[in-house]
Chain A
Amino acid sequence: GENVEQHPSTLSVQEGDSAVIKCTYSDSASNYFPWYKQELGKGPQLIIDIRSNVGEKKDQRIAVTLNKTAKHFSLHITETQPEDSAVYFCAVHFGNEKLTFGTGTRLTIIP
């Protein structure tokens, strides 16, 4: 089936520290792995994505790593800031056209 597991469900980090969120998926044929950030009362916003032909992608303080063999990918946020507080969702395209989402991680940055 199309399963995406996301951990942890909640994460609190001190401002300036790093945060890591991990997702595992069930289908090795998957080839597209985006991460979305959802702020309170708003829609999910794409923050970074990675395709199966690369192992890592970085955009300023945000990076995503992909391990296709182990079927997991992770979001790394460095030098966290208060505005990084939000719910983060990983998602997977299982070869079809829709995204299947993880259950979300509520990230809280402690000033």
Chain B
Amino acid sequence: DSGVTQTPKHLITATGQRVTLRCSPRSGDLSVYWYQQSLDQGLQFLIQYYNGEERAKGNILERFSAQQFPDLHSELNLSSLELGDSALYFCASSVDRRAGNTIYFGEGSWLTVV
């Protein structure tokens, strides 16, 4: 158990809908990262937050947004969903924002868009 908690574990929704994925980082971790993993694909970086502020953006679509709250949990919002958004979405956390800190991953949220 990495200590990173993600909910929901599984989600099925229809095209055009909006969903919110939730992440609680490890206790004491200030940085939160979101990654997307499509079927048989690698891990694509979406976005990073540190202590409530956005730090880096990767290949995140404009239909997607995220935020980190004062209690350090984070949410990834996916809107106007398309079939191609079906993927495993991972949240990860690290103690701070320095390069070289261990990044721990949650178990992921499986999103299926039908």
Chain A residues engaging chain B, CB cutoff 8 angstroms: 31-32, 34, 36, 42-46, 49, 51, 89, 93-104
Q: How far is the CB of B53 from chain A (nearest CB, A)?
A: 12
Contact of A96 among B4, B41, B43, B56 (CB under 8 A): B56
In the complex the two chains form, is A97's CB within 8 Å of B99's CB? yes
In the complex the two chains form, is A49's CB within 8 Å of B42's CB? no
Q: How far is the CB of A38 from chain B (nearest CB, A)?
A: 9
**Is B18 interfacial (CB 8 A cutoff)?**
no
In the complex the two chains form, is A46's CB within 8 Å of B102's CB? yes
Identify 13 new A-B residue pairs, CB closer than 8 A, beyond the known A44-B43, A93-B100, A98-B58: A36-B105, A43-B2, A43-B4, A44-B90, A44-B105, A46-B102, A46-B104, A96-B56, A97-B50, A97-B56, A97-B98, A98-B45, A100-B45
Chain B residues engaging chain A, CB cutoff 8 angstroms: 2, 4, 31, 33, 41-43, 45, 48, 50, 55-56, 58, 90, 97-100, 102-108
Across-interface contacts of B42 in A (CB, < 8 A): 89, 101-104
In the complex the two chains form, is A97's CB within 8 Å of B55's CB? yes
Across-interface contacts of B48 in A (CB, < 8 A): 97-98
In the complex the two chains form, is A45's CB within 8 Å of B105's CB? yes
Q: State A89–B40 Cα separation when bound (angstroms).
A: 12
Q: State A99–B100 Cα separation when bound (angstroms).
A: 9
In the complex the two chains form, is B90's CB within 8 Å of A43's CB? yes
Kindly report which residue of chain B lies nearest to residue A99, judged by CB atoms. B103
Across-interface contacts of B45 in A (CB, < 8 A): 98-100
Contact of B107 among A36, A42, A49, A103 (CB under 8 A): A42
Across-interface contacts of A42 in B (CB, < 8 A): 107-108
Known: A31-B100, A89-B43, A97-B31. A45 touches B56 (CB 8 A): no
In the complex the two chains form, is B105's CB within 8 Å of A32's CB? no
Q: State A52–B107 Cα separation when bound (angstroms).
A: 29
Q: State A111–B53 Cα separation when bound (angstroms).
A: 49
Q: State A34–B59 Cα separation when bound (angstroms).
A: 22
Q: State A49–B103 Cα separation when bound (angstroms).
A: 11
